[in-house]
Amino acid sequence: MKRLFPILSVVTAVLLAYALYLALVVAPTDAQQGDVYRIIYYHVPSAWTAFLLFLINFVSSIVYLIRRNPKADMLALVCAEVGVVFCTVVLVTGPIWARPVWGIWWAPGDIRLTSTLVMWLIYVSYLVLRRFSTSAQTQILAAALAVFGALDVPLVYFSIWFFRTQHPQPVIGGGGSMDPRMLHVLLINWLAFLCFAFLVCWSRFRLELLHREVEEAHAMQSLAGDGVGARASVPLSRSQK
């Protein structure tokens, strides 16, 4: 496993560099938008990756609620955090694309844009809950929030089908046509971002393991001391297993 991480890191770096080359050099220029359309090669794969991570967060939260498996809880936390990072990229690159194409940074009231922002806020609130709550029920509350919060994910994805929106139609399955060369570059970029997300999640998972190890060490030290539980109360509640 220790060897796999650096190998995968190198493969991901090469893949990201190749995907960048395809996006900037090989992909044809759009007849209407010019070169600025190339933002989709970062915007769309980031959105798909965020959706996937939020889906894993949803499934892991359900598993945790049913079985109280701490690994499932850790996976849910990791996917929410990395998903928020990718969702942030989506929310930043979208307006940068919209400004030259639509003439505005943000379309107020647009269902796609608003629901994406709400989704981001839901998962940020999930992370805030995880970070600052010292209740023994934090994991359960967070898992419940994740299950309800996940309801927004399909709303974001399907909003362009069911509501009038300025946002372009989906690249796949939306009825629009995309040059196969552009689609190929888009899928390569998604693969590169998926590998990158996997590596980041792996690192974050290891960090979470270390975090819980430190909390257990704190708790053990407090128990081994004179029985003063002031220091142990927080770690015990957060690393309940």
Partner 1 sequence: MNAVKFLFAAYIITWVIHSFYLGSLVRRFSRLREQLKELQKK
Q: Which residues bind partner 1 (CB under 8 A)?
A: 20, 33-36, 38-39, 42-43, 46, 82, 85, 88-89, 92-93, 96-97, 99-100, 196, 200, 203-204, 207, 210-211, 213-214, 217-218, 221
Closest contact distance (angstroms) between CB of 178 and partner 1 is: 18
Report the C-alpha gap between 10 and 231 in whole angstroms: 42
Report the C-alpha gap between 44 and 28 in whole angstroms: 17
Closest contact distance (angstroms) between CB of 82 and partner 1 is: 8
Q: Which is nearer to partner 1, 33 or 63 (CB)?
A: 33
Q: Which is nearer to partner 1, 42 or 123 (CB)?
A: 42
Closest contact distance (angstroms) between CB of 143 and partner 1 is: 23
Closest contact distance (angstroms) between CB of 136 and partner 1 is: 22
Q: Where are the alpha helices (DSSP H) in the chain?
A: 4-21, 40-67, 70-102, 111-132, 138-149, 152-162, 180-224, 230-238
Cα separation values, 111 from 92, 107, 181, 225, 234, Å:
17, 9, 30, 56, 41
- Which distant-in-sequence residues (6+ apart) come within 8 Å of 14 by Cβ? none
Q: Which is nearer to partner 1, 85 or 124 (CB)?
A: 85
Report residue 186 CA to chain centroid gap. 18
Q: Which is nearer to partner 1, 154 or 213 (CB)?
A: 213
